[in-house]
C-alpha cells in the first residue's frame, strides 16, 4: 500500500509535529522551573566534593571566573581526559555548568547549587529519607 501526500495527511503530520514541539517546550519549562529547587541525588553532590582536586577546581573557578577546561586543569598537572572526568562529575551535580565555543569547553561556577543543597539539608526531608543498610 502506497501512502499519498494529500491535504489531510499533510495536516495530520504538521499537527503531530506541532504537538511534539509543544511537549518538548513544556518539558523544558518544567525542568527550568524545578531545576533550582530539586536535588535529584544529594549523594552525588557530596561525592563530587569528596576529592580535594575537585574542591580546588571549584575554588579556582570561583576566584577566576569562567575558564576553559585545559586552563582549569593546568596547575594540577593532570591530563585533559582526567580533567574532563572531574568536570563532568561537577557538572552532573550542578556545581558548575559548561558550554562549548568552537573547540573550547568553558566552565562556569554556579553558586546556586550550594544554596540548593543548604535548603535541602535544612529541610526535614534530608533526615527523614530511608538510609540504605550496608
* Residues 94, 72: Cα–Cα separation, whole Å: 17
Q: Which residues contact 6 (CB under 8 A, 6 or more apart)?
A: none
Model confidence pTM above 0.95: no
Percent of the chain clearing pLDDT 90 (strictly above): 53
Q: What burial letters (b/e) apply to 65-83, b meaning 16+ CB within 10 Å?
A: eebebeebbeeeeeeeeeb
pLDDT per residue as tens digits for the range 30-89: 777 655 545 557 788 889 999 999 999 999 999 999 999 999 999 999 999 999 999 999
DSSP assignments along 29-70, one per residue: HHHHHHHTT--S-HHHHHHHHHSHHHHHHHHHHHHH-SEEHH
CATH architecture of the domain with range 42-123: Orthogonal Bundle (1.10)
Q: Where are the domains of the chain?
A: 42-123
Amino acid at each position: 500500500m502506497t501512502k499519498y501526500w494529500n491535504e489531510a495527511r499533510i495536516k495530520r503530520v504538521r499537527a503531530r509535529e506541532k504537538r511534539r514541539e509543544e511537549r518538548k517546550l513544556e518539558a523544558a519549562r518544567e525542568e527550568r522551573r524545578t531545576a533550582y529547587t530539586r536535588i535529584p541525588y544529594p549523594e552525588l553532590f557530596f561525592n563530587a566534593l569528596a576529592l580535594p582536586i575537585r574542591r580546588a577546581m571549584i575554588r579556582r573557578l570561583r576566584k577566576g571566573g569562567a575558564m576553559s577546561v585545559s586552563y582549569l586543569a593546568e596547575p594540577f598537572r593532570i591530563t585533559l581526559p582526567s580533567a574532563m572526568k572531574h568536570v563532568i562529575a561537577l557538572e552532573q551535580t550542578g556545581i558548575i555548568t559548561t558550554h562549548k565555543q568552537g573547540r573550547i569547553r568553558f566552565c562556569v561556577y554556579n553558586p546556586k547549587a550550594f544554596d540548593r543543597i543548604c535548603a535541602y539539608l535544612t529541610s526535614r526531608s534530608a533526615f527523614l529519607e530511608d538510609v540504605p543498610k550496608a
